[in-house]
A and B are shown apart, each in its own frame.
Chain A
Amino acid sequence: MASASVIEISGLSKTYGSGSKQTAALRNLNLNVQQGEIFGYLGPNGAGKTTTIRMLLDLIRPSSGSASIFGMDIRDHSVEIHRRIGFLPGELSLWEGRTGQQIIHYVASVRGDTKDITKQAEELAQRLQLDTSKRVRDLSSGNKRKLGLVLAMMHSPELLVLDEPTNGLDPLVQQTFHEMMDEYRDKGKTVFLSSHILSEVQAICDRAGILRDGDLKAVESIEKLMNVEFHWVDVQFRDAVPERLARQLELSNDISDLNINGSRVKMRLVGDFDPLLRMLSEGYVKDLRVEEPSLEDIFLAYYSDGREAR
């Protein structure tokens, strides 16, 4: 049985300015997010991710098109919708002079159930190792982000809307966050998260949409996106690159954009690392660096074989 759509977006567009200064931040977005899935909204900075999210939250109004959450129009039923969702803005601002506890209590009271929500907030804060007794102005950017996560999740919303949620979080807390997302999925709840970090989306999302310059280029399952995954590999040998190895690298189907310069080799690797590592054993490897492809690389790879956005 197909899951119900939690988010339904139809022809959503947003333009800023007027006349010759008019710029389109988002064009004709059509997207459905199903219940129980973690949907990644990928795109470089300025692609239109935050604009989409702010429209879904009814913070800004669409120039055209419509969207609904839980089957309710985002404009007509914003209060009912907000009761059932949790939101973490990309650039989180909170009352600087107030403590985490005070903010939690205020937000909980607006949500109408102070006791249970506050208890849940305490548990979340403990899990994220956040001291809520400190004033916001005394918190680091990472700890502010944790407080934002607590505020978004403390009422166990049916839908979480997170804009760049792991920005500023240390790796250990990122791991905790990933576990929390898995638990959310297991409870049948839905998460819509934006990111410009491919590995993060790969780690926690079921599906992802790729946005560029205000256009949704593709909506794919993570498995399909991973098919176009590749890495940039940079190898530094102690001595000059052995000729036999150079030939092997040139002949390999998994390697492209090969650049051999004295004792250094740069290449683009598709697929597993094992065949490459066996080849590299021809020489003495002094240093080896692997870089994730940028979103731009993924876009180029994705469209180079003629696939279209779905």
Chain B
Amino acid sequence: MSGIVFANTLRTSWKQVLYWGLGLGLLGFYIGFIASSSDIIQGYADLLASMPPALLQAFGASSVEVLRSSEGWIVSVFVSEAAIFLSVFAVMAGMNITANDEQSGVMDVIMSLPISRSSYLLERWIGYAAIGLGILLVCAAITMFSLVLFGVDAQMDLVFISILNLYPGALLVMTVTCLLALVARRRAHAIGLSAAFVVASYVFNLVGGAASGAIADLMQGLSFFSYTKGEQIVLGNYDPANALLLLLVVLAGIALSVRMFISRDIGV
């Protein structure tokens, strides 16, 4: 790998770091503003306490107590929403790895150059993975700034780690989208399948978390959202094996994508 495709990916797509990072960061900024009022947080927690537990899940928390602390409220409300927005970016990034260039016909020019298919895919993947990380860092920086600006009494490190904890999930969605695009060949099909993957994961996490029993546990186990819950970080019972498991699945997905890209016809 020469790194030229990676560098070019960063050069042509760095603005996404700015736009997505600012977009998510502004949401964090707004959440930081709200979190500065302990009355709002307590009122919100009281409201949810009067509702069924399933509804609590829908708002990204499993217990009302978590919501009563500033960092717990921020992580439950903001980070769970950011995970969904970041999934949208991840689907777009996954399409950008090979599918968009293939659909537009540019891939014919690229693959006539002295670069192997595996190098090309890996460099593009690493490029978009770096952009994803940049987005999270910009988002975290703006959110932390907001907490300092509005004097929110929250454990900054927990908020920061919770935001970065979204990264493995984003990488998974990006990789799955890349793989689906290589299998499905049609852009619209790949986007549809990837969206279905994200929505199904979200629903599985929501329904699985609200219910109990073997099926509910299985549903949660199948959802990538359940492996990146910031709430566990706030409660201090976060298991890093969750992130490692997602990263292993990501690695397997990359290997499959490379294999698929090497073995198939381009642009047919």
Asked if B112 CB lies within 8 Å of chain A CBs, one says: yes
- A109 contacts B by Cβ under 8 Å: yes
Within 8 A of B (CB), among A102-156: 106-107, 109-112, 148, 151
**Max chain B CB contacts within 10 Å: which of A58, A93, A112?**
A93
Which of the listed residues B114, B116, B266 has the most CB atoms from chain A within 10 Å of its own CB? Answer: B114
Which of B1-9, B125-133, B207-215, B217-225 participates in binding chain A?
A: B1-9
Complex interface bits, B245-263 against A, C-beta within 8 A gives 1, otherwise 0: 0000000000000000001
Interface of A is mostly: mixed
Tell me whether A110 and B268 are in contact (CB under 8 A): no
Known contacts A93-B104, A110-B5; is-contact A57 B112 (Cβ 8 Å): yes
Q: Is B51 positioned at the interface, with any CB of A under 8 Å from its CB?
A: no
Cα distance, A68 to B263, chains bound together (Å): 18
Complex CA gap A61/B268 in Å reads: 11
A-B contact count (CB 8 A): 68
Query: Chain B contact residues (Cβ within 8 angstroms of A): what range?
Result: 20 to 34
Contact with A along B86-124 (1 / 0, CB 8 A): 000000000000000000111011011111100000000
A297 is an interface residue with CB less than 8 A from chain B: no
Contact between A89 and B108, CB atoms less than 8 A apart: yes
Report whether B114 and A83 are in contact in the complex, using a CB–CB cutoff of 8 Å.
Answer: yes
- Once the chains bind, are B268 and A16 in contact (CB under 8 Å)? yes
Residues on A with C-beta less than 8 A from B108 are: 54, 57, 59, 87, 89, 93
Q: Is B151 an interface residue, CB under 8 A from the partner?
A: no
B8 contacts which of A16, A83, A106 (Cβ < 8 Å)? Answer: A106
A79 adjacent to chain B (CB < 8 Å): yes
Binary flags per residue of A15-28, CB closer than 8 Å to B gives 1, else 0:
01000000000000
Closest chain A CB from B195 CB (angstroms): 25
Interface presence of A292 (CB below 8 A): no
- Ordered by A's residue number, 30 sampled pairs between the chains whose C-beta atoms are within 8 Å are A54-B108, A57-B111, A57-B112, A59-B265, A59-B267, A60-B265, A60-B267, A60-B268, A61-B263, A61-B264, A79-B115, A80-B114, A82-B114, A82-B115, A87-B112, A89-B108, A89-B109, A92-B109, A93-B106, A93-B108, A94-B109, A106-B4, A107-B109, A107-B113, A109-B8, A111-B113, A111-B114, A112-B2, A112-B114, A151-B109
Q: Nearest 9 pairs between A and B by C-beta?
A: A93-B105, A87-B112, A83-B114, A60-B265, A82-B114, A89-B108, A59-B266, A110-B113, A93-B106
Seen from chain B, the residues whose Cβ lies within 8 Å of a Cβ on chain A are: 2, 4-5, 8, 12, 104-106, 108-109, 111-116, 263-268
